[in-house]
Amino acid sequence: MDIGVLRRDGRTDPFFDGTAAGRLVVRRCAACDRWLAPDAGGCPGCGDEDPGWAEASGAATLVTWTVTHGRPAGDGTVPPPAVLALVELAEGPWLHARLDAADPAALRGRLREGLPLTAVFVPTEQGEAHLLFRPEQGD
């Protein structure tokens, strides 16, 4: 499945400014000293509905994964599979993410809980850059 065209919506500028510059920017509540997912609706510790932003390391590990297969078209052709995942940032938050997989079949055999991953940023002709996660070399 191809990645769709992605647009910012007015509440996501720090995140997409980050992906454009090759940086992973997520939420961080300074008062609670707590990292939060970029899409967190607020800080569950103090209730702040607009916690600050901070740059995460981009290091992550694999929690769980799925290889999705699109519906076959009328002519029998099938869209290429996508490797989707829950990843755990080194700072603690989880993201629903997509793994960078030129060859999903080859990648599938390497997937395991705890597999080290690194955030990568793929510029696009249209819309915002895509945040993907790639297994570290050698893993």
Which stretches of the chain bind other proteins, using CB under 8 A? 1, 3-12, 15, 37-39, 44, 63-69, 71-72, 81-82, 84-86, 88, 92-98, 108, 112-113, 126-127, 130-131
Cα separation, 110 vs 65, whole angstroms: 11
Q: Which C-beta is closer to other proteins: that of 9 or that of 49? A: 9
DSSP secondary structure letter of residue 82 = E
**In angstroms, rounded to a whole number, what is the distance separating the alpha carbons of residues 62 and 89?**
9
| Closest distance to other proteins from the beta carbon of 111 (Å) | 9
Q: Which is nearer to other proteins, 57 or 66 (CB)?
A: 66
Least separation in angstroms between CB 61 and other proteins:
10
We find the least distance from the C-beta atom of residue 112 to other proteins, in angstroms, to be 7
Estimate to the nearest angstrom the gap between the alpha carbon of 92 and the chain centroid. Answer: 14
CB of 17 to other proteins, least distance (A): 14
Nearer to other proteins, 55 or 93 (CB): 93
Is the CB of residue 93 less than 8 Å from the CB of residue 86?
Answer: no
C-beta separation of 66 from 85 below 8 A: yes
Q: Is the dihedral of CA 72, 3, 60, 48 positive or negative?
A: negative
Closer residue to other proteins in complex, CB, 30/78: 78
Query: Chain-centre distance of CA 120, in angstroms?
Result: 9
- Count CA within 13 A, CB hemisphere, residue 127: 10
Q: How far is the CB of 113 from other proteins (least distance, A)?
A: 5
Q: Which is nearer to other proteins, 41 or 55 (CB)?
A: 41
